[in-house]
Structure 1
Amino acid sequence: MSFSSRGPESGPHGPGESARQQAARQEIVRQAEAKVAAAKRAAAAAERAAEGQARRAAQSAAPKSSKSSKSSKSKKGRKARGRPAGSRREQPPTNVSAYSQPKAPTGPPSLNRLVGDDQRRIAALQANQPAAAAAALRDVVADLDAMLVTTANYVRKVGTRRSRQSFQQAIPELVTVSELRALPFDEVAEILGLPTPVMDDLFDRLVRKGGFVRTDRDLMLREIRALRQQLQRASVTRDHGLLDRLMGFVLRIAQVIGLAAAAAPVGAVVVGEPAVAEAIMAGVTALVALAFQQVATYLSQQRAHDKHAATKAHADLLAELAKAGRLATPPAYEGEPAVLRFRLEVRCARARIASLPLAWPEKAQYWQELDDLLLALKHNEYETLDLVQRRLEILPPPP
Structure 2
Amino acid sequence: MLLVGVDFGLPHFDAELEELSLLAQTAGMDPVARLTCKRKAPDAALFVGSGKAEEIRLLAQMHGAQEILFDQSLSPAQQRNLERHLSLPVNDRTLLILEIFAQRARSHEGKLQVELARLQYLSTRLVRRWSHLERQAGGTGLRGGPGEKQIELDRRMIDEAIKRTKERLLRVKRQRATQRRQRERGAVYSISLVGYTNAGKSTLFNALVKARAYAADQLFATLDTTTRQLYLAAAGCSVSLSDTVGFIRDLPHGLIEAFQATLQEAVDADLLLHVVDAANPHFPEQIAQVQSVLKEIGADAIPQILVFNKLDALAPALRPAVLGDTYEVEGRQLTRLYVSARRSDGLDGLRAELARRVLQARGGDMSTGFIAPLEGDVR
Higher relative contact order (CA 8 A, sep 6+): 1
Q: Which has the higher helix share?
A: 1
Q: Same fold (TM over 0.5)?
A: no
Task: Give the TM-score normalised by structure 2.
Answer: 0.27
Task: Give the TM-score normalised by structure 1.
Answer: 0.26
